[in-house]
Amino acid sequence: MTNKIRVSDPQELLALIPYQLGFQPENSLVVMSLRGDRHRVGLIARCELDELTSETGQDLAHFLIEQCLKDGARRVFLAFYFDHQEPLSADTCLSEEQTVTILQAFMAYRVLMKQVTGQIEPDSIWVVGPHSYFNWAAYDSPGCDEHCGRQCDERCDLDCAFGCPLHTPDGAIKLRSVSEFETTQVSANMVLNGLTYRKRREDLGMVARAPKAERDKAGASYRRHQRRLQQAREQGGIATWERQTLDLWQEILNDLGYQDHMASGCDGGLCRRETWSATGPSITPARIGRIASGMSSRRVRDAILLSMTPDGMTTARQFLASELDTCCCGPNNTAICTSCEHPKADSHGESLVNDALSKIVSPARGVPPTTCLTEIAQEVLETVIAHTTQTLTAPQHALLCLLAWWKGNGAVARRHNELALKFDEDYRLANLFATVLDAGLAPGWARRQKT
């Protein structure tokens, strides 16, 4: 987040894209915003090719460029990704299907650029397949007839400055191997820092399931603590139950080495989870079930959210200690309304949440996340998902969505958001972030860095 990316070579930019998205794009257009006079990498957005060629394609294309302009882009770097089964050699032509796919996408691009003429310019345009890639602009020509003597048909009537890739002088596309990306500085730095990406978008947010025996133990713990939660509600002990859950969350983080790491000196946003090791017991199925049960409570989930923000654990404890007064059914003397079982409204608690969230969302106050803390929190949340019945994992996916978005990884955030809504379509935090993601809103710290 605090590292400045100022690569300019196209191969470096193409190598960067899957690491930034978190997965290798297929049948997609990727638009990269290049900010300022030095063309620093900014926003990276992706859409499906068939979305661009649909009835709403023009609106989508305009939205993408509009977001780049809001990001402070001086130029845009464009990459079309397509998928095909057979490898291409340097002397083969694109197949009919591949050609149609690329040309459809490019024609959508032309419509887009006509809408924003004078506001932004393309830096370069690339077409990338699983095995090969080429530069569209390399086939610049005043027209296909003059360029190669072949007559353009209706599929490639492209009277534009970038020419028609169907009609190179020898009728073939001069391709380069995508293996070149592996030798770039970007790729070397990513590997050095232990960063990887998924082969498919569908793999984002997917957590490998724990062995059945471990899941069964965690499930038994979850059901046991759900019964205790109900007893706490009936007996007025909900506040104690909430505090105990937050205590366990902090205990797990410390057992994984977080407390010792902070005591030894943390350099803030640049340190990484793999640089330090666990100092206590592992996350047992019994503890996992307790955390999963706790996160079924909105207040506990919000407290865990607050624990990952600046001054987090202190704020989280203040939040749980705040008084609950009224709810939709009117005032009464229990923490949970006896009529609707909803937590009561809490003006002080809400102000704590809003203040903490402003440090994530607001351009004026927003700060990048502390990498080591968010990575260890992610580790715990993913462990809970691995051991829990999937239909109960909306709270964990919603928090992972928030963490990914805060880091600036919209693709991973979007996938976690989809999974949260898949398992609970009415989950409020997930629906809130669906609105944020649909609007293309970036976290506060990223919106401030537009120079």
Residues of the chain with pLDDT > 70, as a percent, come to: 69
Q: Of the spans 207-216, 304-313, 342-351, which averages the highest pLDDT?
A: 207-216
**Residue 341 scores a pLDDT above 50:** no
In this structure, of 80-89, 354-363, 435-444, the range with the lowest mean pLDDT score is 80-89
In this structure, of 54-63, 86-95, 371-380, the range with the lowest mean pLDDT score is 86-95
**Residue 288 scores a pLDDT above 90:** yes
- Structure-block tokens of residue 345: 């409204």
Closest to 139 (Cα-Cα) out of 106, 101, 169, 180: 169
Residues 38-42: what's their mean pLDDT?
Answer: 81
Placement of tokens 């009728």 in the chain = 171
Residues 127-169 have pLDDT tens digits of 888 888 888 765 444 344 333 333 444 334 333 333 444 444 4
Please tell me which residue, 275 or 299, carries the higher pLDDT value.
Answer: 299
Asked if residue 314 lies in contact with residue 306, where contact means CB atoms within 8 angstroms, the answer is no
pTM metric for this prediction = 0.69
**Residue 306 scores a pLDDT above 70:** yes
**Residue 279 scores a pLDDT above 60:** no
Residues whose CB falls within 8 Å of the CB of residue 74, separated by 6 or more in sequence, listed in order: 34, 35, 36, 37, 39, 120, 121
pLDDT of residue 303: 94
Residues 260-272: what's their mean pLDDT?
Answer: 60
